[in-house]
Amino acid sequence: MTKRVAIIGSGMAGLAAARVLRGSGASCVIFDKSRGLGGRMSTRRVGDLTFDHGAQYFTARGPRFAALVEEWRSGGVAAHWFGEAIVGSPGMTAPARAMAQGFETIMGFEVTSLRRESSGWSLVAGEASHGGFDAVIVATPAPQAAPILAAGGASFPALASVRYAPCLALMLAFDGPVAFEGGHLRPESGPIAWIARNSSKPGRNDSAKTFVVHAGPEWSRAHLDETPEAILEKLKRYALDLIGAPSAPIYAAAHRWRYALVEQAAGASCFWDAQAGLGACGDYCLGPRVEAAFDSGEAMARAVLESWGVHVAA
């Protein structure tokens, strides 16, 4: 097969689609507006400090994803944390990097439009473009995917029904002792929904105590459009009480996840317009789990291949 596929988004859904497509002989190029792979499975690095400031962990329940996770664990790019929780190692981006091996990846390329040409689809970002693709898969959050697809003439009305909860995240590091010695905490009340001692995860450096704090959906919605500085100062006051740090953090920063958690899914495994050669996939198709993104990406690839007459076993 000599088909070329552009995949917009280097999160779990896009990477899962790419793996299946490559397995059937297609050539895939992965684009992302960010500098790093993984989407919300993201790790922030600041000198020797690391923070998994997006997805905190994942679980594996279906046989296909469980088999892949076991490969990651055997290869040292994932490890058990607590209960059913599994994390990338040494950071949450590690599985994405493993999945992306062998693919051409073009980072820092924010696709704003699609253009149909005699040679196939072209992806446009400002004055720059990449073309010659037989199909385009958009594996970004639904509100970002819809206008890109519309630019190519594809419309999937179900994307408009998807709803997300935002999440405001806080990253803190301390070089002295703190009262919080556990791995994670879900406060029963208040603006904070989750605290993780990031340095307690397998494969992390625990010389500095690093923490990731996630505000709950209601607090995040109420403060979503405030400046990062304002978010940092307000959220830090609550976090420091729970962490029990006697001294000020040596590092503190806030991050805004506008499309953090799927609250209402589209109810389909993926979306594919075979005539146009345009499709969409992501966790928003099935539900708020990393494994849902994986399942959607694999379903997307199968839909593309089957429209080309290539059968792939589920």
114 has a pLDDT exceeding 90:
yes
Confidence at residue 311, expressed as pLDDT on a 0 to 100 scale? 83
Domains in the chain with CATH codes: 4-39+93-162+266-307 (3.50.50.60), 163-263 (3.90.660.10)
Buried residues in 159-192 as b, exposed as e (16+ CB within 10 A) = beebebbbbbbbbbbbeeebebeeebbeeeeebb
Interstrand relation of 4-8 and 135-138 (parallel, antiparallel or unpaired): parallel
Q: Are 81 and 183 in contact (CB under 8 A)?
A: yes
**Average pLDDT in the 176-191 region?**
93
CA atoms within 13 A on the CB side of 139: 38
Q: What does the alpha-carbon distance between residue 87 and residue 38 come to, in Å, rounded to a whole number? A: 13
Q: Residues 248-259: pLDDT tens digits?
A: 999 999 999 999
Q: Residues 136-149: pLDDT tens digits?
A: 999 999 999 999 99
Q: Which of 85-94, 155-164, 196-205 has the lowest mean pLDDT?
A: 196-205
Q: What does the alpha-carbon distance between residue 296 and residue 284 come to, in Å, rounded to a whole number? A: 9
Q: What does the alpha-carbon distance between residue 260 and residue 310 come to, in Å, rounded to a whole number? A: 34
The contacts of residue 64 (CB under 8 Å, 6+ apart) are 294, 295, 298
Q: Are 50 and 94 in contact (CB under 8 A)?
A: no
Phi/psi of residue 170, nearest 5 degrees: -125, 135
Confidence at residue 208, expressed as pLDDT on a 0 to 100 scale? 85
Buried residues in 123-147 as b, exposed as e (16+ CB within 10 A) = bbbeeeebbebbbbbbbbbbebbbe
Q: Which of 108-117, 174-183, 296-305 has the lowest mean pLDDT?
A: 174-183
What band does 181 get if pLDDT is binned at 50, 70 and 90?
A: confident
Q: Whose CA is closest to 195, among 177, 209, 206?
A: 209
Q: Chain centroid to CA 266: how far?
A: 18
Confidence at residue 247, expressed as pLDDT on a 0 to 100 scale? 84
Ranges of beta strands (E only) in 33-138 are 44-46, 49-51, 78-82, 85-88, 104-107, 113-117, 120-125, 128-133, 135-138
Tell me what percent of the residues of the chain surpass a pLDDT of 90.
Answer: 94
Q: Whose CA is closest to 76, among 98, 58, 51, 60?
A: 98
Q: Which of 15-24, 138-147, 159-168, 178-187 has the lowest mean pLDDT?
A: 178-187
Confidence at residue 1, expressed as pLDDT on a 0 to 100 scale? 59
CA-to-CA separations, 210 to 59, 177, 295, 314, in angstroms, rounded: 23, 11, 32, 41
Interstrand relation of 192-197 and 209-215 (parallel, antiparallel or unpaired): antiparallel
Q: What does the alpha-carbon distance between residue 68 and residue 62 come to, in Å, rounded to a whole number? A: 10
Confidence at residue 245, expressed as pLDDT on a 0 to 100 scale? 87
Confidence at residue 294, expressed as pLDDT on a 0 to 100 scale? 98
Q: What does the alpha-carbon distance between residue 145 and residue 220 come to, in Å, rounded to a whole number? A: 23
Radius of gyration of the chain (CA): 20
CA-to-CA separations, 227 to 74, 167, 195, 230, in angstroms, rounded: 42, 14, 22, 5
Supply the mean pLDDT for the chain: 96
**Average pLDDT in the 292-309 region?**
97
